[in-house]
A and B are shown apart, each in its own frame.
Chain A
Amino acid sequence: GAVVSQHPSRVICKSGTSVKIECRSLDFQATTMFWYRQFPKQSLMLMATSNEGSKATYEQGVEKDKFLINHASLTLSTLTVTSAHPEDSSFYICSAETGYQETQYFGPGTRLLVL
């Protein structure tokens, strides 16, 4: 149980285009999902907390107009990187919180490369 999927697993796009990443909890409902960014050989950096039916809460320094988050249902959250630039290239990981003991389950990640 507690499986989280992400799609796509890998995406290459041109600079200036927008990319949407989906995060789904497959076998449980998640009122809260999280979006992280991970640079090579580094730890996870929390970007934003996504709550179903409400606006996402962004961490300090994260541009909310650049990283649009939508949590339309209890099993789906999306992250859209708008007008992507090469510096946005990174590994993006989502997680979903089960509501029990504050445990988060992570998706497999999405590798974004902006050319």
Chain B
Amino acid sequence: AQSVTQPDIHITVSEGASLELRCNYSYGATPYLFWYVQSPGQGLQLLLKYFSGDTLVQGIKGFEAEFKRSQSSFNLRKPSVHWSDAAEYFCAVGANDYKLSFGAGTTVTVRA
């Protein structure tokens, strides 16, 4: 079965600074990888996904993620954080059974 680890529970970053959220997965084959963002009291919004092909994936809101098979990682990055990026971020991995396994999430706080 697949699993996801997000090593960082909470990250604080200054507005305008860069952000990187870590995600490591465990799966025997090539996984489908996703990053979702959740604002307080809201559902999840898809930021980006990796299915195949180019390992650097561009998403919405200026986010990108890089799939590194050798490291079993799919880290999320943003060059310059805005105050509105404060939220909970979830990495998820899908297999061929349409189910997603989510990481525990990383809370991002943006300070002025």
Asked if chains A and B come from one complex, the reply is yes
Q: Are A43 and B102 in contact (CB under 8 A)?
A: yes
Q: Mask for A83-115, Cβ within 8 A of B = 1, else 0? A: 000000001010101000111111111010000
List A14-43 residues whose CB lies under 8 Å from chain B. 32, 34, 42-43
| Complex alpha-carbon distance, A26 and B35, angstroms | 22
Q: Are B43 and A102 in contact (CB under 8 A)?
A: no
| Complex alpha-carbon distance, A6 and B49, angstroms | 24
**Main secondary structure on A side of the interface with B:** strand
Partner of B42, one of A49, A97, A109: A109
Cβ contacts under 8 Å, B104 to chain A: 42-43
Interface size on B, as a range, is 20 to 34
Q: Are B90 and A102 in contact (CB under 8 A)?
A: no
The verdict on B27 contacting chain A, using a C-beta distance below 8 Å, is no
Q: Determine how close the nearest CB of chain A comes to the CB of B7; give it in whole angstroms.
A: 14
Q: Which residue of A lies closest to B32 (CB)?
A: A102
Q: Are A101 and B41 in contact (CB under 8 A)?
A: no
The verdict on A46 contacting chain B, using a C-beta distance below 8 Å, is yes
| Complex alpha-carbon distance, A103 and B105, angstroms | 18
The verdict on B46 contacting chain A, using a C-beta distance below 8 Å, is yes
| Complex alpha-carbon distance, A103 and B45, angstroms | 11
Q: Determine how close the nearest CB of chain B comes to the CB of A39; give it in whole angstroms.
A: 12
Q: Are A109 and B41 in contact (CB under 8 A)?
A: yes
Q: Are A43 and B43 in contact (CB under 8 A)?
A: no
Instruction: Pick the interface stretch among B16-24, B68-76, B92-100.
Output: B92-100
* Interchain residue pairs A-B with the least CB separation, the first 3: A106-B44, A106-B43, A108-B43
Residues of B in contact with A (beta carbons under 8 Å apart)? 32, 34, 36, 41-46, 49, 51, 90, 94, 96, 98-100, 102-105
- 13 residue pairs bridging A and B, Cβ less than 8 Å apart: A4-B43, A42-B104, A43-B102, A44-B90, A97-B98, A101-B49, A102-B32, A102-B94, A102-B96, A103-B49, A106-B43, A108-B42, A109-B42
